[in-house]
Every structure is written in C-alpha cells, then in structure tokens.
Amino acid sequence: MKMHKPSGAGRAGGIVIATILACLTVLAPAGCRRKATEEQGVGCTVVELRPDLKTGYYDAVVRVEWVGISDASLDRMQVLTPSQSLDLAGLTFSEEAGDPDMLEAGDIFIVPLKRPDWKLDLGEGNTTYCFEDFWDRLPQKDQWHPTKTEAMTVARSLAVVYEQGIPKPVPAAMSEDWILAEEVPPTVDSPMASAIYQKVRNDRVVDQVQVQYTALTEEEKALLATTSAVEFLSEWSECARTVGREVVIAAHPAVACDLEGEGDFGWTYRYFYVDFGLLIAVDVQSDPLEWGKTEEEKEAERRSDSVYLRYGYGPTGPEQWEAMIELRTNRTGAFHKMSRAGETVDKDFTVTDAEFSEIQTVLAANNFMELQSRSGGTGGQTAFIAVRSGARAHTVEMKNYKEVTFENIVRAIRRIILPKVGEKAA
C-alpha cells in the first residue's frame, strides 16, 4: 500500500482527501474488474448464506439466473472475494442444469467464504460477469467495517495539541507498531496541513489514518456561530454534501461519508469535525483481512513474511526499466519493474533453501554489512541492496560505480532469481 499524498487543495475547493483506487489493493477485491454489458454477462444471485461450523463463517449459495456469454465453460472463470480468488471449475455445484463443464441457467454452486468476505465477483480475466454484495445480509457481528478496526481507535483518540504555538490534531492512543509516516505543516501559501499515521507489519501497511486540517478564518468562525456544526461541515466536501450523515465521534459533532470502493483497501470511512478552531478531516482505512487474524497469526506473519533483502537497479534497456527484487525470509519473493512510459511488470517467485543459503553466503563472503555506498557521477545506472538480518539492517547504493564485492553479490542474486521471473541474469 502506498501512502496517500496530501491534496494541496485551496480553500475555495474545500478539503479534498486523496484516494487510491481499490483495484490497486493487495487483496483480490470483488468488483475491480471491468463489468461486461448486460447482454454479455451472467445473472447470478446469492440465495443463501449458509453457516459453516468448521470455519465459523459462511458459505455463499449462488444460483445462476441466466447466461449471456458465448463461451461459458467453467474453466475460463473465477470467483473473487475480498480475501481470495477461486477457480469456478473447482467449486462444488449442488445443482447442474445440464452440461457439467458449462455454466448454465439453473446451476447452483457453493463459494466457501472467509472472514470478512462480504461480496463476490464472477468473471474472467479483467471482466466481471456478475457481482453480488451481501454485506447487509450478514449478522452485525460479522459485518466488517473500517469503524471496527484499530485504525478507528487511533482516529477517535485525536486531540488538538499546541506545538510552538500552532494547533494540530495528534493521536493520543497509538501502539508501538504505529508510525508517523508523513507530515506536511501549514504554510502561508498552503494553509492545509496533513499527517499520515500507519500501522506497519513487515513493511506492509495494515492500518492507516490520514488527517488533514486547517485553521478557520474569522469569516468561517462567524458562519459557524450562526449555523449548526453539521450544516457548516456539509459544505466542505462533495461527499459530505451528497452522502454525508450526522454522527458523533469522540464527543465531536461530525459529518461522515461511508465510501465503499475508495482507498487502498477498498473501503474508506471519512469524517469532518471542528475542534479548537480547526477544521479537521480524517480518512480511516484498514486491511479487512486483519479483522479475522488472531494475535498468534499476526506474530507468525511478522516472523515468516519479513523482508530479508531488496535489490533494485535501473534504468536499463531502451524502455528505461527500473526494477526491484524483494526476497522474504519464508523463501518467497516478488519482482517489480516499471518503464519510463509507465508500463509495469509484477511477478512472484520462490527460492529453495539451498538458493536462500547461497545468497546469505555470498553476502557474508563479500562483507556486505561493511560495504559503503559509492557514486561515480551522474548518468549510468544506479543499484542498491538492502538487507535486514535480525536487528541489523544495512543498505548500499552504487551510482554509476562498479565495486568488485558489490558486483559479486549482484551476480549471485541475478543468477538465482531473474530466470525465475523470465528475466536475463546477465
């Protein structure tokens, strides 16, 4: 998840909170594929949410109402939920209308849901044929929502403090896992200030609270004195005007917008309130999958998914690719690259224990933890290696410079990993 950037909007436009499309999330969110036209789609209905005693959650019983696509073979389609991607051909069909290899009207299939799944998407590749949202049909205790998360606890704890005589809202309740990821103070030219607080586990954001705030002008204070706080706040944002509702958060009258489909995790809870002469806007976001994890699972994730090594290099080739390899301690990894034109490539890979050990050995043999960054001037290529081993972390960057020991490490990493993702090691 990438950090949101402050909008920098002027006062005339009110507060605008930057959001990132839900389809960029690390989950497999239902509804992120392009929807087919009605004649080319599939009609489906979740007819029952059946409790599953083994999982403690539910199975969705889905009936196919009609099929409007020419090739409806099961092996072409998948079902996406916020937590998983399932091949349709691998699901259980409790009723089949005719051909067992084709999706047909009258078919009924079972989708084993995982907490906190509240919607599903039947489709193929980047195309959605049928979309069903059953959040309202779940018992309240099973309805995931950003307000039921640790991010909301942090947001509720916001209190205005004065730093060098300047007021700012600051969370009073943050565990040690939380960090202040970004802060932009107000200036004369840009009175809108912002701060981003994130809970990070293994370099992955799992909770985020973004705060934007600005001091009210004397005219705005006068207007607030003659109208209700809710009426005043409703004029500051399009969402507040159109879908906002009156709420009370931490004893503050507020206007809140429940924005499913917005933000890195596909659901943003945004609210506005006034405190100590500041207009404050808060975005609350959280990874829905956090809701179903026990503390033991979170601790195991910290251990198994921690990033051991990152190797980045570029630009390379006519397309000016910038690339990065990320290797985790559980022997899995990811390869990312982006061209200057914006084309991207993302691939996952796995190394064997022997290959992981070989990388550790070449790092030790070339005294990586003692290497220093070097620069050979402008132009050429830049490469970096970052390693975290236990409590020790070290990063070395080479800008248009060849260092023998660094190159020894680079060759080993490239030889072991690049062929796994279809890239040339040389």
Complete DSSP assignment for 91-120: SEEEE--S-TTB--TT-EEEEE--TT--EE
pLDDT of 154 reads 97
For tokens 């039921």, the residue is: 148
Percent of the chain with pLDDT over 70: 89
Are residues 222 and 285 in contact, defined by beta-carbon separation less than 8 angstroms?
A: no
Tokens of 417: 């990993």
Listed range (198-202, 217-221, 345-349) with the worst mean pLDDT: 198-202
Mean pLDDT of 206-233: 94
- Decide if pLDDT at 210 tops 70: yes
Which residues is 183 bridged to in the sheet? Answer: 195
- pLDDT (0 to 100) of residue 33: 62
- What is the arithmetic mean of pLDDT over 209-236? 93
Q: Which of 29-38, 43-52, 383-392 has the lowest mean pLDDT?
A: 29-38
| pLDDT at 25 > cutoff 80 | no
**Range from 36-50, 119-133, 311-325 carrying the lowest mean pLDDT:** 36-50
pLDDT greater than 60 at residue 9: no
Q: What's the predicted TM-score (pTM) here?
A: 0.66
* Greater model confidence, 161 or 400: 161
- What pLDDT does 302 receive? 67
Query: Which CATH number applies to 306-421?
Result: 3.30.1560.10
pLDDT digits (tens, 9 = 90+) for 124-142: 988 899 999 999 999 999 9
pLDDT attached to residue 35? 61
CATH entry 2.40.30 includes domain 34-141:
yes
The pair of three-digit structure tokens given for residue 171, joined into one six-digit string: 């969370």
- Render pLDDT for 317-370 as a digit per residue (tens, 0 to 9): 899 999 999 998 888 999 999 998 888 899 999 999 899 999 999 999 999 999
pLDDT number for residue 176: 82
Whether residue 24 has pLDDT greater than 60? no
Domain boundaries, the chain: 11-25+144-289, 34-141, 306-421
pLDDT at 414 over 80: yes
Q: What mean pLDDT value characterizes the chain?
A: 87
Between residues 248 and 10, the one the model is more confident about: 248
d(CA 62, CA 196): 40
d(CA 28, CA 22): 10
Residue 3 pLDDT level (bands cut at 50, 70, 90): very low
Q: Residue 57: its pLDDT value, please?
A: 95
| pLDDT bucket at 28, cuts 50 / 70 / 90 | very low
Those residues with Cβ within 8 angstroms of residue 138's Cβ, 6 or more apart along the chain or in another chain: 49, 58, 118
Structural contact between residues 400 and 377, judged by C-beta atoms closer than 8 angstroms: yes
Is residue 177 predicted with pLDDT exceeding 90? no
- Contact yes or no for 15/279 (Cβ under 8 A): yes
Give the model's pLDDT for residue 26. 34
**Is residue 160 pLDDT above 90, yes or no?**
yes
The percentage of the chain sitting over the pLDDT mark of 90, rounded to a whole number, equals: 66
The region of weakest confidence among 84-98, 137-151, 296-310 is 296-310
pLDDT: is 301 or 247 the higher one?
A: 247
Q: Is 17's pLDDT higher than 60?
A: no
Please state the rounded mean pLDDT for residues 203-228: 93
d(CA 393, CA 406): 16
Task: For residue 70, give the DSSP letter.
Answer: S
Checking phi first, is residue 281 left (phi over 0); if not, alpha (psi -120 to 50) or beta?
Answer: beta
Q: Above 90 in pLDDT, residue 392? A: no
The percent helix, strand, coil of the chain (3-state, each to 5) is: 25, 40, 35
Q: Is the pLDDT of residue 4 over 90?
A: no
**Residue of 267, 166, 253 lying closest to 208 (CA atoms):** 267
In 3-state terms, what secondary structure has residue 229? helix
pLDDT at 402 over 90: no
Q: Are 391 and 383 in contact (CB under 8 A)?
A: no
